Structure 1
Amino acid sequence: MKLDMLDSGVFIAYVLGLLILALWISREDKQEGKNTEDYFLASKALPWWAIGASLIASNISAEQIIGMSGSGYAIGLAIASYEWMAAITLLIVGKYMLPIFLKNKIFTMPQYLEQRFDSKVKTTLALFWLAVYVFVNLTAVLWLGGLAIETVAGVDWMFGMIFLAVFSVAYSLYGGLKAVAYTDILQVVLLVFGGLFLVYLALDAVSAGEGVLAGFGILTSELPSHFDMILSDDNEHYMSLPGISVLIGGMWIMNFSYWGFNQYIIQRALAAKNIKEAQKGIAFAAYLKLLMPIIVVLPGIAAVMLHPELNTPDQAYPSMMALMPSGIKGLVFAALVAAIVSSLASMTNSISTIFTMDIYSKMKPGKSQRHYVHVGRIATLISLGIALIVAEPLLGKFDQAFQYIQEFTGFFTPGIVVIFVMGMFWSKATSAGALSAGVGSAVFSLALKFLWPELPFMDRVGLVFLLCLGLCIVVSLASKSKSSNASVSLDEVSFATDKNFNIATLGVIIILTALYAAWW
């Protein structure tokens, strides 16, 4: 499939329009020069709608749209648990974790760890996150984005990756988080409406023109195993999504790590005007997460019937875009590319934030604010260059990149969650306890993977979390904290939420209960 002239024209117009918008947003601050708060935290002035839209745009990228649709092709609706469980996770993060971060006025997650523990914990986690963002997240987004461009536009995947990298630099390098967050609003609107339109076309095609409801009925009757939300232990994909564990096990750990302690996600909420605005943005994002499986998973399931001959599952979504009429296909493709670029920009902005504020500024203190912003921009360019080089060698052999990302990060996320949760809510947690949990996470995970290979990775994540939790408690009690730290005090932190947030939370719970009851 290739784009025709009209599609190409629409795509080029969208790209140019987005660049002009981003540069206009950036120019407002550039007149007086940015400081680190302007560049990395959008001057701490983001409204709720920008926070919510940017959270989703940063999250919904190639690994979600392409990768999760591919998992929908291979596994089915069960993969939607990542999205639906994330909705409730977001609300918990907004109520119990975000107030602590905002109270401590932090730029980065490692900065909080330094305030709570010491520089050893901060530096260890900062280096870890930099490695994961560059070698896992950036590479996955570039690789899947390059494959999407090759499938839809017929352009070689390597040129596609280079285009994505250059595009992300062009619109985010000078504007920082503000340029990324405000342009994300346009991209989310197009992604949602373009995605819903593709679902309509896919279901209509499945029913041979009989309509959406008929198409959905055919899918559920012809592919019943693809609509099991909780997989049985005899399912061939049970190792990826082990039954009830998606509701009560390791998926909670994966979600808390991603939505609560992941720099390029939580950075949007840290840039809010105030805590109420941040919580409204998070509630908005939670409802968008409920919608995402319809947009990204259903086309993958429909592709099982419409394109059963695909070489790899990750070709499902790009192949389904052939259903789009001329012009609309170009617009939806532009939104897909822009979402990929938004995630790249978000990740590189967070990489530059962590490198500059947590590592470089400690090595070179006392420099001007503009100097640190300049260093952050250089870090952006270097990280993209590295990711371009290693993307194909690291990911070229995987059929489902989304599952690869989850399993790889699952080695480390249990320890990260233990470090933050114990650091925030247990005053006796020490630096030694935190480091033991971090190291133990990798050691326990590797040991279980080789000694108990039949254990599903999500169950392994939950078990390793419990082991790390116990290890942190034992080591913390055995070691003595050098001094009490005010960052652990919750006396001045209010966990009260307003009526609208509480109603939004109740709504998410009711919707999730209905969804799982219907597709159990």
Structure 2
Amino acid sequence: MQLATLDWVLIITFFIIFLVVGIVVSKKAGKSTKEFFLSGRNMPWWLLGISMVATTFAADTPGLVTELVRVNGVSGNWVWWAMLLTGMLTVFFYAKLWRRSGINTDLEFYELRYSGKSASFLRGFRAIYLGVIFNIITMAGVCLAGAKIANILLGISQWETLLYSSIIVVIYSSLGGLKGVLITDMIQFFIAMIGSVWATVYIINLPEIGGLQELLTHENVAGKLNILPDFSNKEMLITLFIIPFAVQWWSTWYPGAEPGGGGYIAQRMLAAKDEKNATWATLFFNFAHYALRPWPWIMVGLASLVLFPNLNSLSTAFPNLETNMQGHDVAYAAMMTYLPAGLIGIVLTSLIAAFMSTISTQLNWGSSYIVNDFYSRFINQAASEKQKVLVGRISTVVLMLCAALFSFYIKSAKDVFDLLLQIGAGTGLLFILRWFWNRINPYSEIAAMVISFVIAIFFFINKKLSTPLFELEGYWQLIIGVTVTTLCWIVITLITKPTDDKTINTFESLIFGSESKFHNIHFKILGFLLGIIGTYSFLFATGYYIYGNLSYAIALTITSIICAGVLIKIWKKII
């Protein structure tokens, strides 16, 4: 499609703002690694919370939600909605513990909690495993999604898209550090929310759609509206509901939904002013991510079924779309082609912002591991702050290049989602228990990490073979990964020596102080349940308001308000 002058003005203005922010904060960010990676550790909860939300709104997120809706209906979103339990676990049990630790990255935890050469090895190895390998896979999925959007809306190829976007995002993220990322995240969040809501309203009222009522009663859409899976369909029930709630939320490690917290979520908790700001930031993130933001994407996904009922209709409408980039996830970008001048500029700007926000966060987070937990820990312990910042900036460029190249080897956002889930399968329970079960040691973590990765790569390679060695449903692959990995790391834990008492006592004194490990545990459990019920109630209430089912919508709204009220009343007992 051809963009109008107004659209280009909006996009270019956005780029200029991002670059200016990076340049303005670059001087202070370059002073030290604490400034570059943690913004001086004095950030307020609202800025950190907005940044978490903006980061999880990647360029691939609308495409992923659209694909889930087109394939399995609205209830298809339970594969990620179930992760709310993981997020709320972090809010009420771990957020203040992370901030209280005072460490610079969550990988420093290993030498705080464990002792000896095995703890040092674990920290260094995981810096490369997460900061490089895992990070590149995550960013590759975002790069692919960005390329698909650019191919449909701008008509440029994957390599052109990644060349232009990589240069821009690397410049401002390497200049401004975390503070630059946080400020641009805030701008991106508001642009994205305005753009997605406005675009959804416009699309639903297209003559081809005919308004909300016509959309909801359309033959391609009516059977896709159920919020809960069809319990009579065994396959759907297992895949979309039983596995996510019985297995997935506590057992898998996934970016943004790490059991016990971790990754860029932990980075933002560590950058908070204090424990209260860390907790509030994580609570706001989980509410906004699961309850506030999904419905515009869901509605566009449903509308796409009217205009592009199947994959053939998509490939026919966009014949220049490369074969390896075709899939249900491109339907979101396809629907954006119906937007008028000005609005398409805002939406495209929001999608570019989403891409840049996620990539800049991943780059800053990944380079923090490389610098803090590998380079300055093992390569050059005498490195000056300027040297470490320089290494951080160089690693930013290298990570971006590797992610862009790997994006040519994957096909869709769902592929990346499934691969990351499988890689983290079986490690989640360990991350939850390691704060409280003293028997867990570095060998437990090494075993969990290696075994889950080997199983995931085995399944991934088998799937990519022209003639797979075997056919196995995705949920069975996840169950196998979780079962084997969990059993192995538990056995390793029991047959190896635990961390010495001195290290454990020092760790517990820092993290728990004079409090018991289980201080006010009943209030934390209550807060955990209230957070889950209140957020789901708000999410479902929004859906039922859209569907016109006011009785359910009002009842759920009242439930959400009650949960919030009780939570506020007991908040001091939780913190």
Q: Which residues of structure 1 form unaligned runs of 5+?
A: none
**1:23-422 residue pairs with structure 2 within 5 A?**
23-27=23-27, 29=28, 33-117=30-114, 118-205=119-206, 208-209=209-210, 211-212=211-212, 214-219=213-218, 222-225=221-224, 227=226, 229-230=228-229, 241-254=239-252, 258-260=256-258, 261-289=261-289, 290-308=291-309, 309-311=313-315, 312-362=327-377, 363-392=379-408, 394-395=409-410, 398=411, 401-422=412-433
**1:439-478 residue pairs with structure 2 within 5 A?**
439-443=450-454, 456-478=473-495
- Give the Å deviation of 1:365: 0.3
Q: Contact (CA 8 Å) 1:123, 1:358: kept in 2 or not?
A: yes
Q: Contact (CA 8 Å) 2:68, 2:77: kept in 1 or not?
A: no
Q: Distance in 1 between matches of 2:307 and 2:263?
A: 39
- Give the Å deviation of 1:221: 7.4
The one-character-per-residue Cα deviations of 1:335-381 (angstroms, maximum 9, x if unpaired) are 11011011110111111101111111121101111110111000001
2:561 aligns with: none
- Give the Å deviation of 1:226: 5.6
SS in 2 for 1:107: coil
SS in 1 for 2:427: helix
Q: Contact (CA 8 Å) 2:252, 2:427: kept in 1 or not?
A: no
Letter in 2 for 1:511: F
User: How many residues in Structure 1 have an aligned counterpart in Structure 2?
Assistant: 508
Letter in 2 for 1:62: A
Q: Contact (CA 8 Å) 1:194, 1:332: kept in 2 or not?
A: yes
The 10-residue stretch of structure 1 (83-92 or 47-56) with the greater mean CA deviation from structure 2: 83-92
Q: Contact (CA 8 Å) 2:53, 2:189: kept in 1 or not?
A: yes
Q: Contact (CA 8 Å) 2:105, 2:368: kept in 1 or not?
A: yes
2:570 aligns with: none
SS in 2 for 1:323: coil
The one-character-per-residue Cα deviations of 1:290-343 (angstroms, maximum 9, x if unpaired) are 133212232122111112311321221111112322112101111110110111
Q: Distance in 2 between matches of 1:218 and 1:410?
A: 35
Q: Distance in 2 between matches of 1:291 and 1:110?
A: 31
Letter in 2 for 1:116: R
The 10-residue stretch of structure 1 (334-343 or 137-146) with the greater mean CA deviation from structure 2: 137-146
The change in CA–CA distance for 1:452 and 1:46 in structure 2 (over 3 A counts) is farther
1:511 aligns with: 538
The change in CA–CA distance for 1:501 and 1:227 in structure 2 (over 3 A counts) is closer
Letter in 2 for 1:7: D
- Give the Å deviation of 1:446: 6.6
Q: Distance in 2 between matches of 1:256 and 1:19?
A: 30
SS in 1 for 2:435: helix
Letter in 2 for 1:296: W
- Give the Å deviation of 1:77: 1.5
1:427 aligns with: 438
Letter in 1 for 2:133: V
The change in CA–CA distance for 1:465 and 1:507 in structure 2 (over 3 A counts) is same
Q: Distance in 1 between matches of 2:236 and 2:144?
A: 24
Q: Contact (CA 8 Å) 2:208, 2:307: kept in 1 or not?
A: no
- Give the Å deviation of 1:462: 4.5
Q: Distance in 2 between matches of 1:332 and 1:207?
A: 20
Letter in 1 for 2:393: R
Letter in 2 for 1:409: L
Q: Contact (CA 8 Å) 2:256, 2:265: kept in 1 or not?
A: yes
- Give the Å deviation of 1:383: 1.1
The one-character-per-residue Cα deviations of 1:219-278 (angstroms, maximum 9, x if unpaired) are 587441464642568688788x34422332224434666423442333122211111111
Q: Contact (CA 8 Å) 1:133, 1:351: kept in 2 or not?
A: no
Letter in 2 for 1:329: I
The change in CA–CA distance for 1:183 and 1:96 in structure 2 (over 3 A counts) is same
The change in CA–CA distance for 1:477 and 1:513 in structure 2 (over 3 A counts) is farther
Letter in 2 for 1:10: L
Q: Which residues of structure 2 form unaligned runs of 5+?
A: 316-326, 463-467, 545-551, 554-575
The change in CA–CA distance for 1:502 and 1:287 in structure 2 (over 3 A counts) is same
The one-character-per-residue Cα deviations of 1:177-204 (angstroms, maximum 9, x if unpaired) are 1100111111111111211112212222
Q: Distance in 2 between matches of 1:390 and 1:23?
A: 29
Q: Please, which of 437, 446, 449 is the counterpart of residue 438 of structure 1?
A: 449
The change in CA–CA distance for 1:244 and 1:22 in structure 2 (over 3 A counts) is same
2:569 aligns with: none
Q: Contact (CA 8 Å) 2:95, 2:282: kept in 1 or not?
A: no
- Give the Å deviation of 1:94: 1.6
Q: Contact (CA 8 Å) 1:150, 1:157: kept in 2 or not?
A: yes
Question: Aligned residues: percent identity?
Answer: 22
SS in 2 for 1:425: coil
Q: Contact (CA 8 Å) 2:426, 2:484: kept in 1 or not?
A: no
The change in CA–CA distance for 1:314 and 1:445 in structure 2 (over 3 A counts) is closer
Q: Distance in 1 between matches of 2:25 and 2:425?
A: 39
Q: Distance in 2 between matches of 1:422 and 1:256?
A: 17
Using structure 1 for the length normalisation, give the TM-score.
0.88
The change in CA–CA distance for 1:458 and 1:48 in structure 2 (over 3 A counts) is farther
Q: Distance in 1 between matches of 2:58 and 2:307?
A: 24
Q: Distance in 2 between matches of 1:463 and 1:322?
A: 42
The change in CA–CA distance for 1:448 and 1:336 in structure 2 (over 3 A counts) is closer
- Give the Å deviation of 1:515: 8.1
SS in 1 for 2:99: helix
The 10-residue stretch of structure 1 (50-59 or 135-144) with the greater mean CA deviation from structure 2: 135-144
Q: Contact (CA 8 Å) 1:259, 1:266: kept in 2 or not?
A: no
The change in CA–CA distance for 1:90 and 1:455 in structure 2 (over 3 A counts) is same
Please, what is the CA RMSD of the aligned residues?
Answer: 3.2
**1:484-503 residue pairs with structure 2 within 5 A?**
484=501, 485-486=503-504, 489=508, 491-492=512-513
Q: Distance in 2 between matches of 1:65 and 1:225?
A: 17
- Give the Å deviation of 1:457: 2.9
Q: Distance in 1 between matches of 2:143 and 2:36?
A: 24
